[in-house]
Amino acid sequence: MNSSAASLTHDAFRPQRDAGRGFRAWLAYEFKRALAPRRAGALVALALLPAAIILLLGWVARWHGDNPASMLSPGFYARLFDELLLRTVVFFGCAWLFIQLVRGELTARTLHYAWLVPVRRTRLGGGKFLAGMGAALLLFGGGTLLSRLAIEYMRDLPPAGAEWGTLGGYVGVAALACLGYGAVFFLLGAGVRQPLFPALAFYGWEQINFLLPPWLQRCSIIYYLHALHPGSIPQHEWGFVPPPISYGAAIAWLLGIGALSAWLGVRRFARLEISYGGEE
């Protein structure tokens, strides 16, 4: 055996290297699974919904002989981004995607196969979360990008330099929303037997955020996302004025909430005991 072959054999059987390779394989498998056509069909439709609505509205306006540019203003997009993309598409999309990561395996009774993979459970959990994040970024970041391009297409105005910056801002906020909501739903999926009722309560909490007193508004994700919103969204007439927060602090809070929830979710996943009884 020559020296290179000997080192190759030696390297190939190093446990750390095997674990790293196993983790990468697991990540790739989970990513493909999250985007499998049967699972992701509804998610793709949800991600494309804002762009489809913008195109529909633009075409209807043209059909009526109106100029779509007057209707599809930056203010209209800012509101659409808040109401449809952040609060609906990203929220429900992340709920579906991240809850299914663990709870879906329990209902399909396939989680024990995952635990046969020779990778530590914390890494399996981390891989699941990262794969979910990758899929969410691809779907909802892409959906945001497409919706913005759709509005520029319908307005017949080539985007100027500043508008590309705004576009980046919108995609960035969508990505942070994926992290915040995704991590919370991953934790719910790993930790709660019936995660949809807490998810519904969380939806209500996010929706009534503007009605909460300022100190309580900070205990939500939408508050930080609104602080980073690149456009201007109208204030509710009978809500509290949200307390001001800097961009850096809002990003730090979102990253912190995401990291903490994901860490708790991974810990919960690692300690999960399989009990398929009652899962449907």
Partner 1 sequence: MLARLSWKQVRGSRLLMGLLSAAAISWLVFAILIYLHFNTGAIELLNLVVSRLVPINSRFFLTFLGIQAVLAFFLVLLLVPPVFSRDLAHQALAYYLSRPLSKLEYAWGKLAVAAGLLSAVTWIPGLLLFGLQAGLEGQGWGRQHAHIAVALFLGSLIWMAVIALPAAALSTWMRRRLSATAALLGWFFVPGIIAGIINRGLTTPWGNLFSPLSLARIAWLALFQITTPSAHPVLHHGRMPLQAIKPVPAWCAYLTITMLAAVCIAILWRRLEPIRGVRG
Q: How far is the CB of 124 from partner 1 (least distance, A)?
A: 20
Q: Which residues contact 84 (CB under 8 A, 6 or more apart)?
A: 49, 50, 53
Question: Crossing angle, helix 196-207 and helix 161-191, to 10 degrees?
Answer: 140
Q: Which of 257, 280, 278 is nearest to 107 (CA)?
A: 280
Q: Is 200 in the site for partner 1 (CB under 8 A)?
A: yes
Read off the amino acid at residue 165: G
| CA gap 81, 154 in Å, rounded | 16
| CA gap 140, 187 in Å, rounded | 20
Convert residues 1-40 into a mask of x (bound to partner 1 by CB under 8 A) and - (unbound): ----------------------------------------
- Please count the other Cβ atoms lying within 10 Å of the Cβ belonging to residue 191: 18
Q: Is 264 in the site for partner 1 (CB under 8 A)?
A: no
Q: Is 80 in the site for partner 1 (CB under 8 A)?
A: yes
Convert residues 201-230 into a mask of x (bound to partner 1 by CB under 8 A) and - (unbound): --x---------------------------
Q: Is 280 in the site for partner 1 (CB under 8 A)?
A: yes
Binding range to partner 1, per CB under 8 A, among 7-15, 82-90, 129-137, 246-254: 82-90
Binding range to partner 1, per CB under 8 A, among 6-14, 27-35, 85-93, 158-166: 85-93
- Please count the other Cβ atoms lying within 10 Å of the Cβ belonging to residue 45: 10
Q: How far is the CB of 19 from partner 1 (least distance, A)?
A: 31
Q: How far is the CB of 107 from partner 1 (least distance, A)?
A: 5
Instruction: Report how far apart, in Å, the C-alpha atoms of 117 and of each of 27, 60, 227 are.
Output: 12, 53, 42
Nearer to partner 1, 185 or 224 (CB): 185
Nearer to partner 1, 42 or 157 (CB): 42
| CA gap 265, 121 in Å, rounded | 12
Binding range to partner 1, per CB under 8 A, among 51-59, 210-218, 220-228, 237-245: 51-59
Instruction: Report how far apart, in Å, the C-alpha atoms of 165 and of each of 159, 162, 171, 230 are.
Output: 10, 5, 10, 9
Instruction: Report how far apart, in Å, the C-alpha atoms of 119 and of each of 27, 95, 189 are.
Output: 11, 26, 21
Interface residue list for partner 1 (CB under 8 A) = 42, 46, 49, 53, 56-57, 60-61, 71-72, 76, 79-80, 83-84, 87-88, 92, 95-96, 99-100, 103-104, 107-108, 195-197, 199-200, 203, 280
